[in-house]
Amino acid sequence: MSTLEIRNLHATVESDGEPREILRGVDLTVASGQTHAVMGPNGSGKSTLAYVIAGHPKYTVTEGSITLDGADVLDMSVDERARAGLFLAMQYPVEVPGVSVSNFLRTSVTAVRGEAPKLRLWIKEMKDAMSALQIDPSFAERSINEGFSGGEKKRHEILQLELLKPRIAVLDETDSGLDVDALKIVAEGVNRFQADGTTGTLLITHYTRILRYIHPDFVHVFVDGRIVESGGPELAQRLEDEGYERFVKAGSAA
Amino acid sequence: MSVTIPASDHSPTVRSRAVADHPVPSGREEEWRFTPLDRLRGLHTGSLDLSGSVGLAIESEGFVAETVTVDDPRVGATLVPTDIVAAQALTGSAGAVVLSLAAEAMGRARVVMTGQGVPAASHLVIEFAPFSKGTVVIEHRGSAVLAGNIEIRLGDGAQATVISHQAWDRDAVHVGTHAAHLGRDARLLMAHVTLGGDLVRLSPLVSYAAPGGEAELLGLYFADSGQHLEHRVFVDHDTPHCSSSVLYKGALQGEGAHTVWIGDVLVRAQAVGIDTYEVNRNLILTDGARADSVPNLELETGEIQGAGHASATGRFDDEQLFYLQARGIPEDLARVLVVRGFFADILGRLGEPELSRSVMSDVDARLGVDVEGLGVDDGEADDEVAR
Ligand SMILES: Nc1ncnc2c1ncn2[C@@H]1O[C@H](COP(=O)(O)OP(=O)(O)O)[C@@H](O)[C@H]1O
Ligand SMILES: [Mg+2]
């Protein structure tokens, strides 16, 4: 059992030489077996929340805490967080020229698991994981994300999710830019990851359509750097019908 | 940063074997201004005694190796010295070594030059007869103050790869001219892999005897604290319908690490229908290092297929490091992966696994990481998965 606890989280980013507050008091708890959907308008700070959890150096936490099973996440370097069991599927995965997907995956799996997998077993494991996501085997030889289509990048993120098997996964707009087929493939991957109840998922999205394939236990509306309302799956339906407008007004009035 | 030199400066005023015909550089000349003359140990003065020797070991399949006097007609036929060091390399060597591959033959040779800690001169001629196909790898090891010439001739339709690997000890000084001349429809891949030495200054020159020649020049260098690594490319497009493609990549780290890349491409009026592209990229890993990069493309005719150049010098991309670290990879190993990746296209193009491994382990050592047991592979696993 694992629990990610975010308490009163405030974070700033340097903008025109001035610190600008983007996260303004986020409270959220994600435990194993749970899927949380965080939904909000563009620019509300969803990606910032994801990056701050992962430890991106551009953001400064000014107040609050993040713990994973009681351990202080904010005290860990980016790679320590990943090895502690946190994973971020990025909205815009980064290209790394010259580093092959296969080399990258094996190096990261070795770092996270603490020992290098046996080559023969590893190759089978990777091939199986790629084929489940309908990723062509030739991707193993290609440079990380270089020349990948939007959909290919997102499938590659989920491939890493399945191979690294973190305790808590943060998926930042993994649905954006996917056609229906790719959306289903990606959602199946997330559902496989979440299936045995030992892991938790924080699913960040702007649209409700991915929630047809991934069923959240909790839905949070995120506006202007904080969660303004939380509920069950029915809240997603209301957002689908009414949009964010009501919350945006409420958020700015607060 | 680009300096345009008038066309006349491309044709050196002095072309001669005689050392006395060449001026002693003062450091103010355009072609010497980047080179710290005080670290050349007198190699540029014309009066240094270069009668010391370098160890020479040649393993070859298909090539014939001969030692000849410098009066042999094959010596200096392509490489007519245009500076004082090249003149000394020619006249100062006790004899020249000629490696030749017969017409339509296939061959491979490895030449290991091992410095003996003394000033020395060497002149190597590599001849690829028409329609032959071969690879020559020249490794420079040990310590020396070397004036070293390499002249390369390709007959019609020959396909040649010549790789000069500078794996010198840290204190070596090496100045060399590497001149290649391509016959009709010949294809040359000439590469420079420069990691060792205190001061290395190489001048690859390419010219064409007839239409259809294709030259690809590749370079990889890594300068550590205090090292000066300089590559001065000159492609002389004096013949119609030939092509040149130049790509040099360098990494630098530490106080006083200095690299220089000059890419002079001259397209003369008669060289219609040619195609040329040159690129230099530098990755600066720490403060205190300096990369000079001067592409210079000069067109005397507009009737060409294409011509271009690009030069970029940058630092580590934080987003790349973040991405790798977010997958559990420690920062120092992430840096290794990024630098290995930076060089991967050049090494892949060269297709010499032993050379790749040696460069990669050098990169690892310089970045202070032993990748053993960390899951980093040398490319073999990739192939297995793709199969
Ligand atoms: N690195 C950054 N530099 C400057 N501004 C940023 C940076 N990251 C985010 N912001 C700003 O913070 C706000 C929230 O951005 P983001 O977290 O990407 O929102 P979302 O993911 O909800 O669309 C936006 O106004 C954005 O411009
Ligand atoms: Mg976002």
CB-based contact, B372 to chain A, within 8 Å: no
pLDDT the model gives residue A245: 87
Chain A hits for B356, Cβ within 8 Å: none
Structure confidence at residue B384 as a pLDDT band (50, 70, 90): low
Among protein residues, the one whose CA lies closest to atom 25 of ligand 1? A43
Identify which of B206, B174, B207 has the alpha carbon closest to the alpha carbon of residue B193: B174
> Mean pLDDT throughout B11-30?
90
pLDDT the model gives residue B11: 59
Work out the percent of chain A whose per-residue pLDDT is above 90: 91
> Which run of H or E residues covers position A44?
none
pLDDT the model gives residue B93: 81
Inter-chain touch A141–B385, beta carbons under 8 Å: yes
> Mean pLDDT throughout A164-188?
96
pLDDT the model gives residue B379: 52
Chain A hits for B333, Cβ within 8 Å: 107, 111
Residue B5 has pLDDT above 90, yes or no: no
* Cα gap B19→B45, rounded to integer Å: 10
DSSP-assigned states of every residue in B204-236? EEEEESSTT-EEEEEEEEEE-TT-EEEEEEEEE
pLDDT the model gives residue B4: 40
- Domain locations along chain B: 19-315, 317-387
The whole-chain average pLDDT of chain B stands at 93
The whole-chain average pLDDT of chain A stands at 95
* Cα gap B270→B309, rounded to integer Å: 21
* Nearest atom in ligand 1 to A48's CA: 17
Q: Which residues sit opposite A89 in a β-bridge?
A: A171
DSSP-assigned states of every residue in B270-306? T-TT-EEEEEEEEEE-STT-EEEEEEEEEES-S--SE
pLDDT the model gives residue A250: 63
Residue A52 has pLDDT above 70, yes or no: yes
Name the domain count of chain A. Answer: 1
ipTM of the complex, rounded to two decimals = 0.97
Q: Quick check: CB of A252 below 6 Å from ligand 1?
A: no
Return the structure tokens found at A121: 């077993």
- Going by C-beta distance under 8 Å and a sequence separation of 6 or more, which residues neighbour residue B380? none
- Token look-up 């000079």 returns B292
- Going by C-beta distance under 8 Å and a sequence separation of 6 or more, which residues neighbour residue A207? A175, A176
The DSSP output letter for B27 is: S
> Mean pLDDT throughout B245-251?
98
Query: B383 to chain A: nearest residue by CA?
Result: A141
Phi, psi of A160 (to 5 degrees): -65, -40
Q: Which ligand is nearest to the CA of A176?
A: 2
CATH code at position A249: 3.40.50.300
Residue B12 has pLDDT above 80, yes or no: no
Identify which of B341, B351, B32, B11 has the alpha carbon closest to the alpha carbon of residue A142: B341
Return the structure tokens found at B82: 């245009």
Inter-chain touch B327–A96, beta carbons under 8 Å: no
> Mean pLDDT throughout A33-49?
97
Structure confidence at residue A74 as a pLDDT band (50, 70, 90): very high
Option in B322, B324, B374 nearest A56 (CB): B322
pLDDT the model gives residue B8: 46
Dump pLDDT digits (tens) for B353-373: 999 999 999 999 999 999 988
Inter-chain touch B325–A77, beta carbons under 8 Å: yes
Dump pLDDT digits (tens) for B65-116: 999 999 999 999 999 999 999 999 998 888 899 999 999 999 999 999 999 9
Option in A79, A88, A98 nearest B342 (CB): A98
Range of the domain at A144: 3-253
